[in-house]
Amino acid sequence: MKTRFYSILLFLILTQSSWCQVFYDRYVNIKIGQGFSFGGMGIAVEYRYKKVSVLGSFGYQSEQLVYEHLIPSSWNISSDIRYYLSKRDGNWQYFIGLHGGWLSNYYHPDIGENSYQYNVYGIAMHTGIEIREELLNFEIGMGIDPGRLTFWPKKHPFYNTSWHIASNIGIGINLYALQSKLKYNKKKGNNQKESMNQIVVNNYESTVQYNAQDSIHIKLVKQQASVLIEQCQQAFKSTYNRVFYQNDTLYIWKPLGNKRYLFFKILLRNKKSEQFYCISLNEMQNESIVFLIQDDISTPESEDLPFIIEELEHYSKAIRGLLCYYIQPPYLYLNAENVEFFYQNVNIKVDKVLICEMKF
């Protein structure tokens, strides 16, 4: 039953996220699982910054019958330190680490009926694979306990006579991503309830305020910006995008899936002023600002975006399309439509891409 439960959860993660890149800077995960990383069967909290994480858990190990000897149940605590290795496999990421805390409840036949401490605490190594989607993550791993790093070895006779290998399996939810989604839904609900001066363009209700003294040009600009914001309100806000501003240039990274990414390089001389622009990419071939990247790479850090094109070989420049973006400091809204690329003698078209409320 447990195996079937975990299999269903793993299937859901894979089917929902097979196109995602998954490199956040920070995670706070709440996990449930089985293994010594979970204190038996229990719950764990993991805080991760970039590639390093710490994990604490509390769990329960039920009674076990070993060599016709009944090992009592126990409540247990444990902790892990993990290092996530650089990945090239999309949602899959490998980790290695050290475990400290509960290891197992054991019995050795040479103990007989003598008194001993059955629940063992100590240090072990572990490794595994994590599969991560925006909200959910699934891990499966293996713990390696040499049997010689227990905290109170004299209380555990014969435990050090062999190595102990144990499996870990767990499912978790990323609280940072959950908080972001809840905030977005709340903001969307509040925007629909706010009583404010609104304008209607093509049946879209705008959340961009305007004044009666605005010129016709300003009103048209705000109308177009309001349409873009409304489209963003109806779309899911992705946490896989990256944006970085440096030297009057805005750099934007957008995963598309199937090892494809869009990269934008936009001249922005004043990031503190509200502005809206639409650019025909047909007229920008000599100053390419949209690139299609086709490579099996990890999502870069934001500060690495200015150098990303220089480090890659497999990319092409946009030859046609329309790019509109709205700057509402400190946020960016972007819409790219019917963007065409010519790559390795093949025409590639991206119908529509939205990037919503990215802070820079």
pTM for the whole structure: 0.50
According to the model, what pLDDT value does residue 141 have? 93
Q: How many helices (H) and strands (E) does the chain have?
A: 3, 20
Looking only at the bridges linking them, the beta strands covering 204-205 and 242-246 are unpaired
Nearest Cα neighbor of 129 from 79, 168, 156 is 168
* pLDDT at residue 11 in the model: 43
Please report the pLDDT score of residue 107 as a whole number: 93
pLDDT tens digits for range 49-76? 878 999 999 999 999 998 888 999 999 9
Q: What is the structure's pLDDT at 283?
A: 62
pLDDT at 227: 77
Residue 151's pLDDT is: 93
Where along the chain do its domains lie? 2-177, 235-359
- Residue 10 parent element (H or E): helix 2-17
pLDDT tens-place values along the chain, 360 residues long: 444 444 444 444 443 333 333 334 567 889 999 999 999 999 999 998 878 999 999 999 999 998 888 999 999 999 999 998 865 445 678 899 999 999 999 999 999 889 999 999 999 999 999 987 767 889 999 999 998 999 999 999 999 999 999 999 999 998 877 776 676 566 545 544 443 333 333 333 334 444 545 555 455 666 777 778 777 776 666 667 889 998 888 999 998 877 889 999 988 888 888 888 888 887 665 566 898 888 878 888 888 888 888 777 788 889 888 888 888 888 888 989 899 988 888 888 888 888 888 888
- The single residue listed with the structure tokens 């922005």 is 268
- Rounded to whole angstroms, the Cα distance separating 110 from 144 reads 23
Task: Say which CATH topology domain 2-177 has.
Answer: Porin (2.40.160)
